[in-house]
Amino acid sequence: MISEKIIVALDISDDKKLDEVLEAFKGKDVIFKVGLQLFNAKGPDIIDRLKENGNRVFLDLKLFDIPNTITEAAKEMAKRSVDFFTVHLLNGRRSLTFLKDGLEEFCGKEKLDVPEIVGVTVLTSFNEEEFHLISGGTSIKKMVEILAVLGYQAGIRSFVSSPREISLIKGILPDVKLITPGIRPKENLDIKDDQKRVLTPGEAIELGADYLVIGRPIIKSDDMLGAYEKIVKEIEERKEKK
């Protein structure tokens, strides 16, 4: 189903707004993304609340630390039944392998489901000019390729990338899953914010994205469920025209 491909980003911290979002999607099998804003506002108990509500949780804290620290953090996520969580691929292959092996061993002993490790490539807030300043001249696409292959070698099979790099990653690693932020419905493409490399939902799915992370176009709408369903319809219409 198309709706299963959409991850709703809860980039909020206000109690009233959070209640409104959860009420709007009550009874719906929605994947919610919990990022730094909501996690710091509500703490890890927000994960329990979403799971008790019947939702799947994509915990987007982008772990970046020494191998033991990120592995112990991931174990805590597994205890709370997080479905997916993000880790920076810049941690390096040795650290990522340590994480994957340690998490699987722990979950096996504790009889827990193993959360999906999602490797972060290059943030969608970067454009080429800005990225060159911190990469020594390496292009975004080249760095995405390097990091995706490195993560794959460490056993990671899910990645975050902007929609502009979907074809690149799928071309070299066709069996991986891609979670794609930087998604804007057609009527929102001209809105200026911190997302630089964006596409419409239909375009991203057509290119091979497995999940779309969409926040502001949904949760800032006066009719959140309607906005969500409109995006689903946009994707379905794009697929029908293909």
Residues identified as active-site: 62
User: Nearest CA to 74 among 86, 92, 89?
Assistant: 86
Residue with tokens 């995405």: 144
Spatial contact of 181 and 197, defined as CB atoms under 8 Å apart: no
Dihedral sign for Cα 122, 126, 132, 136, please.
Answer: negative
| Token pair listed for 238 | 């794009």
Burial of 242 (0-12, 13-18, 19+ CB in 10 A): exposed
How far is residue 114 CA from its own chain's centroid?
A: 17
Dist CA 25 CA 7 (whole Å): 12
- Number of Cβ within 10 Å of residue 135's Cβ equals 15
Per the CB < 8 A criterion, the answer to whether 93 and 153 are in contact is: yes
